[in-house]
A and B are shown apart, each in its own frame.
Chain A
Amino acid sequence: MTQEHKNLLSPEVVLQQMKKNGVTHVVWLPDSETNWLYLLMKADPDITLVSVSREGMAFSVAAGLHAGGKSPLILIQNTGLLESGDSLRGWALGLNLPVILLVGYRGWTRHGVTPDTAAVYTERFLHAFGINYFLVENDADSPRMTMAFEEARKTKRPVAVLVGDEFHGFNR
């Protein structure tokens, strides 16, 4: 593995984290980072993909899946997270939904200077709803996903994992 690859977040590692933590369904809407992950999930017999056309719907689908005994994960972009406020409030927080929000962090830069308002408002939005979150940028960060799953189960609340790797491994 090259030094460059060590600094990437590979979709194989993300899928491994999902499976390790018992995810049965991924409720999702594609973002610019997730196509390789999509291809892997699609080929995996243990994961059922549920595609929605607006991100808020992902929260109510996930709430229904959880009510019926399954373990969903929500995979969306930060733009869609911003759209989902009322669904997050009502269907996730309101029903004590222990779900992971795997959120593509569009516009993320390590130095904090970004022209992308999607990034500017992402963490402020999570703060407003009291949603804890972890940042993952490369494979070495991936154990934070397990930490997020554990926190969600323990607190019976959604926990976000922000994927700060817009241009590299997640999209190859």
Chain B
Amino acid sequence: MIETEEVLKIFSPHRGDAIVVPGRGGRYWIKLSTKPDLDLPLGDPAMGGHAAFAFGLALAQPNRKVVLFDSDGDVLMGMGILPTIAEHQPGNFYHFMLDNECWGTTGGQPVPNAGKVAYDAIARGAGYPRAFAFDNPETLTLNMARILSEPGPVFVGLKIVPEVQNDPIGRRKPWATRTRDQVLKDLRKELGLPG
């Protein structure tokens, strides 16, 4: 098992000029990132859609890496996007998935068949040419540069320590420092896109 924050720390030195969609790791990534205008810490606009969003971004910006930190719950909700991604073979798309084996934001209830789903095998079966799985920080550290040097789409399943939230949503401390609208505006400006 790896801590979410540690995953992002291992990735951070390899980021380069990639666009990063930090997904469930947003609260940590905004403290680690040195290029916030290339980050999309959107929180959770609607669960299950992060991979589709990041894939759309990768299609739109084919000359720039797009790195997503997805979750097992999101992938389960939107598993049908995997063949779509594989069909288009975006060479710039890196799909990391944080697998905590539970619905972490609703109290930690297990996801379907928790702990027994081989997400890397599902990704490979959907047509991702490269898929990996790691359950400890040492091997992830050793392999991170190689993962990001492979042509995409690459899928990386990561067993992570659950961070279970039990408080009602209204009592949770917000971590975002920019509105979603501002995040998107900053990205478009950084990419030289109109308004």
Contact = CB atoms under 8 A, between A and B. Distances in A.
Contact of A90 (B45, B87, B88): B45
Contact of A56 (B48, B83, B84, B88): B48
B52 A69 contact: no
A159 to B, nearest CB: 18
Contacts of A54: 78, 80
B45 A64 contact: no
Residue of A25, A50, A53, A68 with highest tally of chain B CB at under 10 A: A68
Contacts of A69: 60-61, 188, 191, 193
B78 A50 contact: no
Contacts, number: 114
Interface string B57-95: 111110000000000000000101101100110000000
B56 interface: yes
B46 A61 contact: no
Nearest to A86: B46
Given A60-B49, A87-B49, A91-B45, A53 B84 contact: yes
A25 B81 CA distance: 16
A68 B81 contact: no
Contacts of B88: 50
B30 interface: no
Residue of B52, B55, B57, B191 with highest tally of chain A CB at under 10 A: B52
A35 interface: no
A68 to B, nearest CB: 3
Contacts of A50: 56, 59, 84, 88
B46 A60 contact: yes
A86 B74 CA distance: 13
B7 interface: no
A68 B83 contact: no
Interface string A16-42: 000000000101000000000000000
**Is the interface on chain A under 10, 10 to 19, 20 to 34, or 35 or more residues?**
20 to 34
A10 B54 CA distance: 34
Contacts of B49: 56-57, 59-60, 63, 87, 90-91
A63 B57 CA distance: 8
Contacts of A91: 45-46, 49, 53
B56 A62 contact: yes
A161 B46 CA distance: 23
B50 interface: yes
Contacts of B59: 25, 48, 50, 64-65, 68, 70
Contact of A60 (B53, B83, B87, B187): B53
Interface in B4-50: 40, 42, 44-50
Given A53-B80, A56-B46, A86-B47, 5 more contacts: A61-B52, A63-B49, A63-B53, A66-B56, A69-B193
23 contacts: A54-B80, A56-B49, A57-B78, A59-B46, A59-B49, A61-B52, A61-B53, A61-B56, A64-B57, A65-B59, A66-B56, A67-B187, A68-B56, A68-B59, A68-B60, A68-B193, A70-B56, A72-B56, A86-B47, A87-B48, A91-B49, A94-B180, A96-B184
